[in-house]
Amino acid sequence: MKNTPKGWPRVSPAIFYDDAAGAIDWLCRAFGFEVRIKVAGDKGRIEHSELVIGDGVVMVASSNTDAQPRLPFKAHYKSPRSLGGATTQSLMVYIDDAEAHFARAKAAGAGIFMEPSVHDYGDDYWADRSYGAIDIEGHHWWFTERIRDPKS
């Protein structure tokens, strides 16, 4: 495989919010993301943004609320909030300190669906300390600190 463009990981998810501008502010405050780019359109609609944390990139944009979207493929881009909380993906982010990150997210109002705990897959695999959080529109996030690498 060729190297990815500078500043881009191999995979970069895009997630959608009814209030993308508010979500971007909240994601930065609660989860420690930083805005790399934010492209606003009509009426403050976020057409595209790139949030970074370490070497990871998450793209955030406004969900489709128009009867006739400008780009037809965006007709299906929805926030879990607009779907009664349903979600078809979760995002996992490696962090340095699960306890400190958990405290920050909880203080910012993140919903917690799993308190920090160790997930140990045995000596041949790894052990992580992770917690599960729900953001302000219902996206599920896992924040994980590696505490043991597999034995070689």
User: Could you tell me the residue ranges of all domains in the chain?
Assistant: 9-64, 89-152
Q: What is the architecture, at CATH level 2, of domain 9-64?
A: 2-Layer Sandwich (3.30)
Predicted local distance difference test score (pLDDT) of residue 76: 73
Fold that domain 89-152 belongs to in CATH? 3.30.720
Query: Residues of 130-151 as b/e, b for ≥16 C-beta within 10 angstroms?
Result: bbbbbbbbbbbbbbbbeeeeee
User: What does the alpha-carbon distance between residue 85 and residue 100 come to, in Å, rounded to a whole number?
Assistant: 27
As averages over each run of 10 residues, the pLDDT of the chain (152 residues) reads 90 94 98 97 90 96 71 74 83 97 98 97 93 96 95 68
Contact 117/3 with Cβ under 8 angstroms? no
* 9-64 and 89-152 share one fold: yes
Predicted local distance difference test score (pLDDT) of residue 68: 52
Give, in order, the Cα–Cα distances in Å from 94 to each of 66, 72, 77.
Answer: 35, 34, 26
Provide the token pair at 87: 């979600």
User: What does the alpha-carbon distance between residue 86 and residue 40 come to, in Å, rounded to a whole number?
Assistant: 27
Host H or E run for residue 56: strand 56-62
Predicted local distance difference test score (pLDDT) of residue 64: 76
Predicted local distance difference test score (pLDDT) of residue 84: 82
Predicted local distance difference test score (pLDDT) of residue 69: 60
Predicted local distance difference test score (pLDDT) of residue 105: 98
